[in-house]
Amino acid sequence: MLARGLSCVFVVALGLALGLSVAGAETLRERALRLMAETPLIDGHNDLPWQMRKRFNNQLNKVDLKTLEGTHTNINKIKEGRLAAQFWAAYVPCETQYKDAVRQTLEQIDIVHRMCSKYPDDFMFATSSKDIMTAFNQSKTASLIGIEGGHSIDSSLGTLRTMYQLGARYLTLTHSCNTPWADNWLVDTGDDPVEHNGLSPFGKLLIKEMNRIGMLIDLAHVSEAVMNQVLDISTAPVIFSHSSAYAVCPHKRNVPDSVLKRVAEKQGIVMVNFYNDYVTCSPTANISDVANHFDHIKNVAGSSIIGFGGDYDGVGRVPEGLEDVSKYPAIVEELLRRGWTDSDVKAALGENLLRVFKKVEEVRDSSSSPPDDTPISLDEVKNPCRTDYGYPTPPGNAGPRLAHTPPALILSLMLLIALLAKSF
């Protein structure tokens, strides 16, 4: 009788223990949110500033970013998605090259500053790895600037430095056009001509100057030759701010395995893009397809080079389950479902980018070199919209004010002078 009673007590106790264990078990979503509360989620690329340009001509006073509709990003979605730090893209199209790219880029830098000023309880302007953690501890989204496209600096190291002083912390070397010093990714598809076989001599100088001033070098959008040359030259780690794995989706905007391994050797980072065309090479994709890129990069080069680079508000199609920035916890949950450890996830969330950023800052702080003031060759940038003040005037040249005067206008002026001389 006593034995039967003890057996019943044991069964009841065991049942209670199992019940408590099940009740106290952490779900995958709870685990994802816990990890995101412990480590800042840092995203490498968001084009909300371009939406401000395109939709409102940068008239931020007419916009409520808390509830803005028709975009992937607003403040309420940012909070729901636990987005702790964002590199906002200062993007202007390739059509501005040789025209007003610098002005338009400065206006995109200005819009990020104004976003932070208008919403100080939600955004904190950030320029350093330390700033990211300060914002995280204050429950604000650290707002950093990345310049998307080398055409934005008009082939000028002085302009590069000025934009850095205004807070820009990475430069994407090209967008979808060649610059006078670098080939873009369309060279690898055959849609653009090879102009520099990667980087020109000036392009190589620019990489060294970026190392010197502490600007992150972004290899999203460049040709494979540029990827490898930068990895040869740079003394600091590099980033791909919004690119995925070429082996999963063979699109030339993605990163081949050979380069993934080199990025790992350089202790850099590849921040996975969510654009359907780069995820599945088709118009449709889902959250599992995105996780396949995370898994592949981890298998090839380790979890230490992975980050998030959603490309929200810069693309027209995003995966099912990742419809906007509020959905970041879902992809974290999916990685945990696939067996990613807490340390793997924390690395991808933000630890990898913080490590890269700190190393770039260390390279900057250890440099004693003066600013490089070597101008690009005039022959590489000569065009009707550019004057040549400061460059030597060849013998017999009409001088800087007439150097780029159209021949028809010169002929008209000569005829006018001849007529005037004849009339006198």
pLDDT of residue 126: 98
Same-domain status, 227 and 265? yes
Same-domain status, 210 and 297? yes
Instruction: Assess whether pLDDT exceeds 70 at residue 14.
Output: no
d(CA 364, CA 68): 38
Q: What is the mean pLDDT of residues 368-378?
A: 96
Kindly give, in sequence order, each residue whose CB lies less than 8 Å from that of residue 303, ignoring residues fewer than 6 positions away. Answer: 340, 343, 344, 347, 348, 352
In a domain, 6, yes or no: no
DSSP bridge partners of 46: 88, 312
Which residues belong to the active site?
Answer: 45, 47, 148, 175, 221, 242, 311
Same-domain status, 152 and 236? yes
pLDDT of residue 423: 52
CA distances from 242 to 23, 78, 202 (A): 40, 18, 25
d(CA 16, CA 339): 29
In a domain, 385, yes or no: no
In a domain, 3, yes or no: no
pLDDT of residue 15: 44
Contact of 144 with 83, CB cutoff 8 Å: no
In a domain, 254, yes or no: yes
DSSP H or E run through 94: none
Range of the domain at 405: 393-424
Instruction: Assess whether pLDDT exceeds 80 at residue 7.
Output: no
pLDDT of residue 399: 47
Same-domain status, 216 and 279? yes
d(CA 283, CA 286): 11
Same-domain status, 418 and 287? no
pLDDT of residue 412: 56
Averaged pLDDT score across all residues of the chain: 91
Nearest 5°: phi and psi at 18?
-65, -40
Phi-psi region of 375 (alpha: psi -120 to 50; beta: other; left: phi over 0): beta
Least confident of 13-17, 54-58, 198-202, 284-288: 13-17
d(CA 331, CA 279): 14
Q: Which residues of 22-32 are buried (b: 16+ CB within 10 A; e: fewer)?
A: eeeeeeeeebb
pLDDT of residue 393: 80
Q: Which residue, of 366, 382, 411, is where some domain finishes?
A: 366
Angle at 47 between CA 243 and CA 260, to 5 degrees: 10
pLDDT of residue 422: 56
d(CA 119, CA 269): 30
Same-domain status, 314 and 171? yes
Look up the CATH number of the domain holding residue 318: 3.20.20.140
> What is the per-residue pLDDT across 203-214, written as a single tens digit (0 to 9) for each?
999 999 999 999
Q: Which residue, of 321, 351, 366, is where some domain finishes?
A: 366
> What is the per-residue pLDDT across 119-163, written as a single tens digit (0 to 9) for each?
999 999 999 999 999 999 999 999 999 999 999 999 999 999 999
Same-domain status, 141 and 251? yes
Same-domain status, 291 and 414? no
Instruction: Assess whether pLDDT exceeds 80 at residue 361.
Output: yes
Nearest to 112 by CA among 27, 169, 36, 178: 169
Least confident of 18-27, 256-265, 369-378: 18-27
Same-domain status, 248 and 288? yes
Percent helix / strand / coil, the chain, rounded to 5:
50, 10, 40
In a domain, 7, yes or no: no
pLDDT of residue 415: 57
> What is the per-residue pLDDT across 393-419, written as a single tens digit (0 to 9) for each?
866 655 444 444 455 544 555 555 555
Nearest to 225 by CA among 249, 247, 192, 265: 192
Q: Which residue, of 348, 366, 384, is where some domain finishes?
A: 366
d(CA 76, CA 325): 10
Q: Which two tokens stand for residue 133?
A: 């953690």
Same-domain status, 108 and 55? yes
Same-domain status, 318 and 355? yes
Give the residue carrying structure tokens 């190393």.
359
In a domain, 217, yes or no: yes
In a domain, 386, yes or no: no
d(CA 194, CA 174): 13
pLDDT of residue 12: 40
> What is the per-residue pLDDT across 308-346, written as a single tens digit (0 to 9) for each?
999 999 999 999 999 999 999 999 999 999 999 999 999
Same-domain status, 410 and 329? no
Q: How confident is the model at residue 20 (pLDDT cuts 50, 70, 90)?
A: very low
d(CA 218, CA 342): 27
- The DSSP output letter for 64 is -
pLDDT of residue 414: 56
Looking at residue 70, its amino acid is G
pLDDT of residue 215: 98
The predicted model scores a pTM of 0.89
Nearest to 125 by CA among 159, 91, 166, 161: 166
pLDDT of residue 2: 39
In a domain, 219, yes or no: yes
Structural domain count of the chain: 2
